[in-house]
Amino acid sequence: MLDRMSGALGGGDILRMTVTDELGPTFRDVRVRLFKPGDVIGSRFEFAIDTHSRDPRRYGPEVPKSTDLPVAGGGIVWPLTWPLTWQGGGSDGRVTASNEEGTVETYSMLEVTGGLETGFSLVEVGTNKEIRFERVIPLGSTVYLNPRTGRVWIDHVDNDVSGFLTRDDWWSIPAGQTSVIQFNSLGAFTGSPTLTARTSPAKW
């Protein structure tokens, strides 16, 4: 066990560290600076870990929220204006991301699945801030957006497509509040494109 821990914690990779106390679990992404094993006492041993995180926040469990593209039940007037009002049934193409349990601002990790022929628009309804991505997203592919860093990739973290952003008005979610995100296609689409917002409430 000691050898396994030394190997796992000695590589300098970014690791997710979760701590559970009387208030529940919270996590940070950290790098291990030092792993110092102590004395072996029977079938157990003590150890110390020195870690560093660029982000001082602690995050609660992630809450995913998803939506399809909007489908108006009673018709919709073009061009779209904010906030949208939908008549009757159908999807409104919105998700609500919550930081109500947080004590400091947080960000939602965003995922958009294809197929979208010319890209998509995401609008934060309360502020009209917009993220606009203009590139084909093939059926079966997923675009990942990190509002904290402003980076965008498709399918794999090494496939950077940030250059296809034509608007990047990134937003955060203040402590104790929610954010409503409107999802729209910029052109024709196939299949069932989906927006997923993954939000973890943040605390110091």
Same domain, 121 and 29: no
pLDDT tens, residue by residue, 147-179: 999 999 999 999 999 999 999 999 999 999 999
Same domain, 76 and 111: yes
Same domain, 74 and 127: yes
**pLDDT computed for residue 148 by the predictor:** 94
Q: How far is CA 54 from the centre of its chain?
A: 17
Residue 81's pLDDT band (cuts 50, 70, 90): low
pLDDT tens, residue by residue, 117-144: 999 999 999 999 999 999 999 999 999 9
Parent domain of 74: 63-203
**pLDDT computed for residue 75 by the predictor:** 47
- Phi, psi of 54, rounded to the nearest 5 degrees: -70, -25
Same domain, 157 and 126: yes
**pLDDT computed for residue 96 by the predictor:** 98
Same domain, 45 and 92: no
Same domain, 46 and 87: no
Same domain, 47 and 73: no
Burial of 131 (0-12, 13-18, 19+ CB in 10 A): buried
Same domain, 149 and 109: yes
Residue 5's pLDDT band (cuts 50, 70, 90): confident
Same domain, 86 and 181: yes
Same domain, 68 and 7: no
Q: How many domains does the chain have?
A: 2
189 contacts: CB under 8 Å, gap ≥ 6: 69, 114, 115, 116, 117
Residue 136 sits in a domain whose CATH number is 2.60.120.860
Q: Taking residues 170-198, report their average pLDDT.
A: 97
Buried/exposed 50-68: b ≥16 CB within 10 Å, e otherwise: eeeeeeebbbbeeeebebe
Q: Taking residues 54-72, report their average pLDDT.
A: 93
Same domain, 71 and 47: no
